[in-house]
Every structure is written in C-alpha cells, then in structure tokens.
Amino acid sequence: MIRVAVTGAAGRMGGRIVTAIKEADGLELAGAVERPGHDMIGQDAGLIAGCGASGVKISGSLEEALANADVLIDFTFPEVTLKNLEVCARLGKQVVIGSTGFTPAQRAEAEKAAAKIPVVLAPNMSVGVNACFKLLKEAAGILGEGFDVEIVELHHNKKKDSPSGTAVRMGEVVAEALGRDYNKVANFHREGMCGERTKEEIGMQTVRGGDIVGEHTVYFIGMGERIEISHRAMSRDMFARGAVRAAGWLKGKAAGMYDMQDVLGLK
Ligand SMILES: NC(=O)C1=CN([C@@H]2O[C@H](COP(=O)(O)OP(=O)(O)OC[C@H]3O[C@@H](n4cnc5c(N)ncnc54)[C@H](O)[C@@H]3O)[C@@H](O)[C@H]2O)C=CC1
Ligand SMILES: O=C(O)C1=N[C@H](C(=O)O)C[C@H](O)C1
C-alpha cells in the first residue's frame, strides 16, 4: 500500500485529491495538511472532501502529516510548495507537485530539491492536456513559420496566477518546436498603438470569471485558414486522478525531476 499525504487538503484540488485517493487501488490517505490557523484543522479530511470519514485529521504540521506517509501530493502555491519540498528532501519522501506560477528562480530551487528525492512536477495532470502538448509540438512542426500563434486560457475568478501554468507550458512547447525562446517571444499585453504583430511573438491571453474549471486554446492563424487545438476541463477530478497516478508511479523511482509526460509514457 502506498501511503499518501495531501497539502492544501481543504482547498479546491485538495478535496478532489483526497477523494481520488479513496477511490484508487493500492493507495491510502496517510496525512492531510492545511495552512496553520485554517478553520478545518482537526477535522476529518474525508468528511471535509465530502467522500466519507477517512480517519485522518487535517493537521497544521507537515512533519506530523508525513509521519506515516511515503509520498506528498502538493497543490498549493509556489512559496508553500518550495518549503514543503525542503521538508520532504530532508525526510526522504517522494513528492507530486501540481502548484503553478513558479518563477524561473523558484523552478531552479525545485530542481535542486529534486536532486535528493524523486519529484513529479506538472502544471496539468490531465491525460487530455498532456496529449495536447504532443499534438501542439506536431502541429507547430508541420505549420512552421507561416502561422501566427496565439494562446487563450480561461479560469475561475479565484485563480491567483496568470497565465496558467498549462498555457505557459503550451507556449514553451510551441516555441521550442519553432526554434524560438518562449521567454523572448511571449507577448502578454497589447494596448493602445502597440504596433503590428511580429511574426515570432506568441500572444498569451487570460480570461478570469465565475467557476470555469480550466480551458486552453492554441490558435495557429494563417492566411485564409485557422487551426485551433482546445482542451476544456469539465471537473477537477481528472487532475486529481492524474496526481494520484503520479504518486503510484513514483514508487521505486530514482531521485530527479519528472513530469506527467514521464508518468504517462509520452516522452
Ligand atoms: N497541475 C494541475 O493539474 C493543477 C494545478 N492546479 C494548481 O494547484 C494550486 C492550488 O489550486 P486550488 O486547489 O484551486 O487552490 P485553493 O486555494 O483552493 O487551495 C490551496 C490550498 O492550500 C492551502 N494552503 C496554503 N498555505 C498552506 C500551507 N502552508 N500548508 C498547507 N496548505 C496550505 C490553502 O489554505 C488552500 O486550502 C494552484 O497553483 C493551481 O494553479 C490546479 C488544478 C490542476
Ligand atoms: O488553478 C486552476 O484551477 C488550474 N490551474 C492549472 C494551471 O495553472 O494550468 C491547471 C488547470 O487548468 C486548473
């Protein structure tokens, strides 16, 4: 049995992950953590998630939640994730990270911790989005320079980072396939007399509102034709199932940084 602890256990993703662990074969919930001072500390993690009593109380201490766990699933925020990674590296626990919004410096810090323990870090745990990454590489390779690339993402009004981690990864995949540097060609802002679109830029547009779970479209816009590769998430459950699958996959893996493409055998 693989014993899993979950951070952000009372959050939007945390509750779905607690439920997905309950539904998975070969894994069990061994710990749950929330931000110190959170109202749900001391409550049963399964009851808070709505999937029935789990016998695991939400703790305010990561060390306490990890005491009986092999692996941590962390969907919180980059600053919190990096602190949690440090603790896991010290205790020799495996980690699955779904948090998004890492700066390049924060990403480098995560890579450093992953030299000591096996870590899966992915901005999107769904099979569909990971299939889209492959399709985008192929589409960009076929369409080449003749098509303008624009990426639009839509999410709920509580999302804190922009653009989404998934949109950034989509931009990186397309840029790499076209021989461009995403950090140089991503254009996040057009306003006023900003001039004509350059051939190289990749436009990154963000929409926020209501309860949209997550939608991403990459437009390849040519002269007289347009290709759109879209993914729409209808619930958070497939993200949670992907994270749980990654937690099972980590068993026996060497220290290092992995992503969902590794877990799904798409590399
Ligand atoms: N990789 C993927 O497939 C997906 C990634 N995400 C990402 O997951 C992250 C979380 O998203 P949501 O669940 O919507 O946010 P949320 O705000 O609902 O949940 C985050 C939870 O973390 C808790 N938290 C804050 N500080 C903490 C600490 N020190 N220790 C333990 N818990 C702490 C908060 O109290 C909250 O309950 C975001 O970065 C989001 O972009 C979301 C969906 C899918
Ligand atoms: O915050 C969210 O909700 C989501 N975040 C991820 C991202 O930033 O790409 C994945 C998903 O779209 C939901």
**Catalytic residue selected from 93, 155, 216, 231:** 155
> 43 with 58: CB under 8 angstroms?
yes
Say whether 122 counts as a known binding-site residue: yes
| Per-residue pLDDT, 267 | 86
> 204 with 167: CB under 8 angstroms?
yes
| Per-residue pLDDT, 234 | 97
Strands 27-33 and 2-7, bridge-based pairing: parallel
* Residue 229 bridge partners (DSSP): 218
**Catalytic residue selected from 22, 38, 134, 159:** 159
Ligand 1 centroid distance, CA of 198 (Å): 36
User: Within a 13 Å sphere around the CA of 133, how many CA atoms are in the beta-carbon half?
Assistant: 24
Each residue of 138-165: pLDDT tens digit? 999 999 899 999 999 999 999 999 999 9
Say whether 146 counts as a known binding-site residue: no
Nearest one of 49, 157, 154, 165 to 99, comparing CA atoms: 165
The verdict on the CB of residue 137 being under 6 Å from ligand 2 is no
pLDDT in tens, the chain (267 residues): 999 999 999 999 999 999 999 999 999 999 999 999 999 999 999 999 999 999 999 999 999 999 999 999 999 999 999 999 999 999 999 999 999 999 999 999 999 999 999 999 999 999 999 999 999 999 999 998 999 999 999 999 999 999 999 999 999 999 999 999 999 999 999 999 999 999 999 999 999 999 999 999 999 999 999 999 999 999 999 999 999 999 999 999 999 999 999 999 998
Nearest one of 133, 152, 172, 168 to 215, comparing CA atoms: 152
* Closest protein CA for atom 5 of ligand 2: 164
The DSSP result for 221-262, as a single string, is E-SS-EEEEEEEES-SHHHHHHHHHHHHHTTTPPSEEE-HHH
The verdict on the CB of residue 159 being under 6 Å from ligand 2 is yes
- Which ligand has an atom closest to residue 166 CA? 2
| Per-residue pLDDT, 172 | 98
Report d(CA 64, CA 87) in Å as an integer: 11
Nearest one of 10, 143, 120, 23 to 65, comparing CA atoms: 10
What are the b/e assignments for 36-67, b being 16+ CB within 10 Å? eebebbebbbbebbebeebebbbbeebeebbe
Report d(CA 263, CA 248) in Å as an integer: 9
Alpha helix segments (H runs only) across 9-159: 12-23, 45-49, 62-66, 78-91, 104-113, 127-143
The verdict on the CB of residue 34 being under 6 Å from ligand 1 is yes
Nearest one of 150, 86, 131, 132 to 112, comparing CA atoms: 86
Dihedral sign computed on CA atoms, order 113, 115, 119, 120: positive
* Residue 96 bridge partners (DSSP): 73, 120
Each residue of 95-141: pLDDT tens digit? 999 999 999 999 999 999 999 999 999 999 999 999 999 999 999 99
Decide if 216 is catalytic: no
